Amino acid sequence: MNPPRAAGPTLAQSLFRGRLNTALTLLVGGLLLWFLIQFVPWAIGHAVWSADLQACREARGQGACWGVVSEKWRLILFGRYPFEELWRPVVACLLMVAAVLAIARREWWKPWVFVSALFAIVFSVLLMLGGFAGLSEVPTERLGGLSLTLLLAIIGNIASLPLAVALALGRSSDLPLVRAVCTTFVEVVRGVPLVTVLFMASFMFPLFLPSGMNPDVLLRVGVGLTLFSAAYQAEVIRGGINSVPRGQIEAAQSLGMGYWLTQTKVVLPQAFRVVVPPLVNSFIALFKDTSLVTIVSLFELFGSLRLALADPEWRPFYVEGFLFVALVYWVFCSAMSRYARGLERDFASARR
Amino acid sequence: MTLSLTNPKFRARLWQGLLVVVLLVCLWLLVANLQKNLAARGVELGFGFLSGPAGFDIAERLIAYSAESSYWMAYAVGILNTLRVAILGVLIATGLGLFVAIGALSINPLVAWLCRTYVEVLRNVPLLLQLFFWYLSLAALLPENDAPLTLLPGVFLSKGGLSFPWWVDGLWEVPELGPFGMVGGAAISPEFLALLGGLSIYTSAFIAEVIRAGILSVPKGQSEAAKALGFSGWQQLRLIILPQAMRVIVPPMTNQYLNLTKNSSLAVAIGYPELVSVATTTLNQTGHAVEAISLLMLVYLTLSLLTSWLMARFERASRLKERT
Amino acid sequence: MSVIQFEQVSKWYGSFQVLTDINLGIAAGERVVVCGPSGSGKSTLIRCVNALEPYQAGRLTVCGTHLTDDLKSIHEVRAKVGMVFQSFNLFPHLTVLQNLTLAPMHVRGVAQAEAEAEAMRQLERVRIAEQAQKYPGQLSGGQQQRVAIARTLCMKPEVLLFDEPTSALDPEMVKEVLDVMVSLAQQGTTMICVTHEMGFAREVADRVIFMDAGKIVEEAPPDQFFSAPKHPRAIDFLSKILAH
């Protein structure tokens, strides 16, 4: 015999229970309705979809001019990459995204998957830059748009991981000097804004290198982003290392295992399970932070938008441009956010 | 001490000794290169340039400053501007965040959905984009300088900013419409408004999540006991839930306050003259990149440490007394 | 010839002395039970034997090696001494079989096939061979502790240390673990066991050592210890735990 269905509140009951609730529902509902009535016709109904400047101007105030996206999409997605070679950033981006998705699948957390993903990512970067195997070399100033955002975010996060692990182990070390050096690095980098790190990369790095050596601005900014991201990831990993019970290390020691063997086979594998969700959050933060490289004259997704809007004819339609780019960011970031939450749930339930 | 590799004390000294050597070598190389490169540019390392005249004006300032004032004064103005936006931003973001957090936990599904959407949208779009959006919108929507909007007697809104009555050189002035816009009194620039608004709203989304997690961490039994004692919903929250949630909330909240302070550096992109903007101008004018940026980092580090220390004291005060 | 020899060993945690002038010799094949009230230093004592805790005064010799801070001496000692913990400390991210083969393969350099064969032998010895491919999280407490014992046995230790091996187990699982320990004892393994299980002590121990406040206060064969304890603290302790 089945138990009777639980009598929880229905949607209508929750919305209208009590005077305050009813008032809130009416107020919020009213506002939302008003907003939708204003927004939907503007965004969709009367909107201009083609890159027709005249039609856009006529529709101003009545309909959105998505033509700004139809006109400037190449700039926004790929920067000023040479038109004939556009297939290269397309392939590179698809490859990088595929590599990241492969790493994301928990069933595929095996060494060979990680190594292949790494190769795929390195290959993508080389593909975009060119200069070998008959591919024309593309100067780094021409890289831009979403492809540059993906490149900076993915390389920045992956290159920073080994450094982050080293810093985390260093901060947990018994040797006071090692601990002091690592702690200082992490705390200094975490205490300053990314803008200052980018300025350092842009203006100060060349001063510290032998004269004559003038590395590319992309390389310098990449290094800056990597160091910045490593400091934050180090803290997350350190939390994970601390979460591994002391008994695990004692058991390993009793079995005769030395420091490095214990760390690589017992501590770090367990720590990583715990730290993957917050590491994904740190990935999301870096993804958003790539927008700051416009300050040092690299034109990633947001920078390319501003470049596109510098065109005086299309400038008035900045709202549509911003909405489009915001949507792109939102899609990527909320997908990653959802993934991290899913992981957290899975790990929490597995730790019965 | 036996000089054997299996003696842990010897090993410790060896590793640390090696580290010192490596660090010193790197430092020596870097400094050597630095001096060579600076010499080639005809620039000397030193902080003396800071007493020289700045040569640039700063539109918004809390203290007396002109183009003849020293670079030190320029930095001081920058720091005060940063503090101005940071402190106000923290207050507004916390208030807004608390509001949204409570809304997200509401039993009214519409209100809860709205608050959660607010958080989801704001957290997943970069701050720089939001700041520019507010700035451009404000620039477009604010009334023209010759036709300001009167909010209150003496308080006007125009493209020049929010003008209000204030003391100028000891005299109480009320802003009036002049040939190019509002004159007299004091004004808050549209850049500041955009920065404050954008920063506060962005950070409030993160603070809302922190507060919500804190409230959810308080055991359900507490609110059940409170209900049984007859407390209303608001009283439960204010007297029982929030005080206990504080312990969980304070560390991540500190982080958010620090983030807000650091994020104020984005103002350099929309033209609000805070610390980074002043430092950049100094750097460009004098060529003393190393000193300018080091000073910049030092100020931010100090602010971070100060905030962390203040919040640590607050946390200690709000700790539950446990049986020692 | 003693396998373990404590000579005037003392240990401090900061300024607090946890072991005071311990003098103790344990012969090969001897089964020793250490008991006492909590805080008496019994866990600390056996943790000194495999260098999980350092000591500050005296001399400790284990299996012929003088145990000091020196990493070489620690390495030698740990190769000959095995330990079973109260909280099992199995590696949760590895299967049972992998838990057993990890140390032999990476510390001793044993080939995988041989390590796995030995692992299966030990798992049969503790009667849990069918769980070889499971993860520790899927096993009950008693099963996990038996796996932990098998893991130690794979390294072929000369001495086995047990730190309250059944204290974290539900009552119905205590017997299965004690049975394994009894069979190990009957095979002549040198054992030091910190435990409250007095039935086990009576059945298997050659000697019972009673500790209080960091000192060895009474030492006697089990019959003598349980029927006629001499020291007042021992009498007090026994009356408390044998009351029910």
> Which pLDDT score is estimated for B199?
94
Residues A121-128, mean pLDDT to the nearest whole number: 86
Name the average pLDDT for chain A. 85
pLDDT digits (tens, 9 = 90+) for C151-203: 999 999 999 999 999 998 988 899 899 999 999 988 888 999 999 888 888 88
Contacts with B12 from chain C: Cβ below 8 Å: none
Q: Which of A10-14, A321-325, C209-213 has the lowest mean pLDDT?
A: A10-14
Strand pairing category for C207-212 and C31-35:
parallel
Percent of chain B with pLDDT over 70: 98
pLDDT classification of A111: cutoffs 50, 70, 90: confident
For chain A, list the contacting chains (3+ Cβ pairs, <8 Å).
B, C
Chain centroid, CA A25 distance in Å: 36
Q: Which residues of A301-326 are buried (b: 16+ CB within 10 A; e: fewer)?
A: bbbbbbbbbeeeebeebbbbbbbbbb
Q: Tell me the domains of chain B and their CATH numbers.
A: 71-318 (1.10.3720.10)
List CB contacts of A60: < 8 A, sequence separation 6 or more.
A316
CA–CA distance, A320 with A230 (Å, rounded to integer): 35
* Min Cα–Cα distance to chain C from A278, Å: 20
Contact A225, A320 (CB under 8 A): no
pLDDT for residue A240: 87
Token representation of residue A280: 């994904």
**What pLDDT is attached to residue A3?**
67
pLDDT value at residue B321? 64
Residue numbers in B near A209 (CB within 8 A):
33, 37
ipTM computed for the complex: 0.87
Mean pLDDT of B100-113: 88
B221: contact with C, CB 8 A cutoff: no
Distance CA A347, CA B20 (A): 41
Pairing relationship of beta strands B166-168 and C2-13 according to DSSP bridges: unpaired
- Cα–Cα nearest to C201, from C148, C164, C235: C164
Nearest to B265 among A196, A288, A318 (CB): A196
Decide if A42 contacts A63 (C-beta within 8 A).
yes
Residue C48: predicted pLDDT: 93
Whether residue B262 lies within 8 A of chain A, CB to CB, comes out as: yes
**Contact status, residue A284 vs residue A229, Cβ threshold 8 Å:** no
Residue B157: φ, ψ to 5°:
-120, 125
User: Whole-model pTM?
Assistant: 0.83
Which residues of chain C neighbour B11 with C-beta distances below 8 Å?
A: 71
Report which of A329, A327, A31 is spatially closest to residue B113, judged by C-alpha positions.
A31
Lowest mean pLDDT among B157-166, B276-285, C119-128: B157-166
- Residue C24, helix vs strand vs coil: strand
Tell me the chain C residues in contact with residue A247 when contact means C-beta distances shorter than 8 Å: 85, 87, 89
Closest Cβ opposite residue A196 in set B30, B269, B296: B296
> Is the Cβ–Cβ distance between B191 and B263 less than 8 Å?
no
Q: What is the mean pLDDT of chain B?
A: 84
Q: What is the mean pLDDT of chain C?
A: 91
Interface with C, mutate which of A249, A254, A273 (most C CBs under 10 A): A254
Total beta-carbon pairs less than 8 A apart between chain A and chain C = 61
| β C65-66/C81-84 pair status | unpaired
- C-beta atoms of B111 and A14 within 8 A: no
HEC letters along chain A: CCCCCCCCCCHHHHHHCCHHHHHHHHHHHHHHHHHHHHHHHHHHHCCECCCCHHHHHHCCCCCCECHHHHHHHHHHHHECCCHHHCHHHHHHHHHHHHHHHHHHCHHHCCHHHHHHHHHHHHHHHHHHHCCCCCCCCCCHHHECHHHHHHHHHHHHHHHHHHHHHHHHHHHCCCCHHHHHHHHHHHHHHHHCCHHHHHHHHHHHHHHHCCCCCCCCHHHHHHHHHHHHHHHHHHHHHHHHHHHCCHHHHHHHHHCCCCHHHHHHHHHHHHHHHHHHHHHHHHHHHHHHHHHHHHHHCCCEHHHHHHHHHCCCCCHHHHHHHHHHHHHHHHHHHHHHHHHHHHHHHHHHHHCC
CB-nearest partner of A256 from C52, C107, C148: C107
Residues of chain A in contact with residue B258, where contact means CB-CB under 8 angstroms, are 191
Instruction: For residue B205, name the pLDDT band (cuts at 50, 70, 90).
Output: very high
Task: State the average pLDDT over residues B60-70.
Answer: 73
d(CA A220, CA A198): 9
Please say if the pLDDT value at position A352 is more than 50: no
Q: What are phi and psi of C64, to 5 degrees?
A: 85, -10
**Which of A255, A349, A352 to probe by mutation at the C interface, max C CB count within 10 Å?**
A255
DSSP assigned state of B239: I
Please compute, for residue A29, the number of CA atoms within 13 A of its CA located in the half-sphere on the CB side.
Answer: 12
Q: How confident is the model at residue B149 (pLDDT cuts 50, 70, 90)?
A: confident
Q: What domains are there in chain A, each with its CATH number?
A: 71-205+214-351 (1.10.3720.10)
What is the model's pLDDT at position B137?
87
Beta-carbon contacts of A318 under 8 Å, excluding residues fewer than 6 positions away, are A309, B136
pLDDT class of A294 with cuts at 50, 70, 90: confident
Tokens linked to C128? 């849990």
pLDDT at C227: 87
* B44 at interface of A, judged by CB pairs closer than 8 A: no
What pLDDT is stored for residue B324 in this prediction?
Answer: 45
The continuous run of DSSP H or E covering B155 comes out as strand B155-158
At A8 the pLDDT is 62
State pLDDT tens for residues A9-60.
677 766 777 777 888 888 888 988 988 888 888 888 777 788 778 888 887 7
DSSP one-letter code for B70:
B
- Report d(CA A235, CA A241) in Å as an integer: 10
Nearest of B109, B162, C31, C202 to residue A32 by alpha carbon = B109
Put simply, the answer to whether C78 touches A254 (Cβ < 8 Å) is yes
- B 87-106 → A contacts, CB under 8 A: 106
CA distance B294 to B47: 11
Do the Cβ atoms of B283 and A337 come within 8 Å? no
A255 Cα to chain C: minimum distance (Å): 6
In chain C, which residues have their Cβ closer than 8 Å to the Cβ of A275? none
Asked if B3 reaches chain C (Cβ–Cβ under 8 Å), the answer is no
Chains linked to C by 3 or more Cβ pairs within 8 Å: A, B
Is some CB atom of chain A closer than 8 A to the CB atom of B139? no
Which pLDDT band, with edges at 50, 70 and 90, does B165 fall under? confident
Instruction: Decide if A40 touches C, using CB distance below 8 A.
Output: no
Enumerate the residues of chain A whose CB falls inside 8 A of the CB of residue C53: none
Residues in chain B with CB shorter than 8 Å from the CB of C70 are 2, 4, 6-8
Helix/strand/coil for C58? strand
- CA A302, CA B125: separation in Å to the nearest integer? 11
Query: Chain A contacts of C106, Cβ < 8 Å?
Result: 257, 261, 265
Task: Considering only the beta carbons, identify the residue of B16, B128, B290 that sits closest to A204.
Answer: B290
Mean pLDDT, to the nearest integer, of C45-51? 92
What's the rounded Cα separation, in Å, for the pair C242 and C236?
10
**pLDDT category, C1, cuts 50, 70, 90?**
low
pLDDT tens-digit series, residues A148-168: 999 999 989 999 999 999 999
Residues of chain B with Cβ-Cβ distance to A318 below 8 Å are: 136
Q: Provide the 10 A C-beta neighbour count for residue B178.
A: 11
Predicted confidence at residue C52, as pLDDT, reads 93
CB contact under 8 A, B11 and C71: yes
Residue A112 backbone phi and psi in degrees, to 5 = -70, -30
| Contacts with C, B 10-69, CB within 8 Å | 11
Identify the three-state secondary structure at position C1: coil
Q: Which of C69, C74, C75 to mutate to test the interface with B (most CBs of B within 10 A)?
A: C69
Contact A211, A283 (CB under 8 A): no
Q: How many angstroms separate the CA atoms of A273 and A347, rounded?
A: 8
pLDDT in tens, B248-271: 888 888 889 989 999 999 988 888
* Interchain contact, B8 vs C72, CB within 8 Å: no
Nearest CA in chain C to A247: C89
State the pLDDT at residue C23: 93
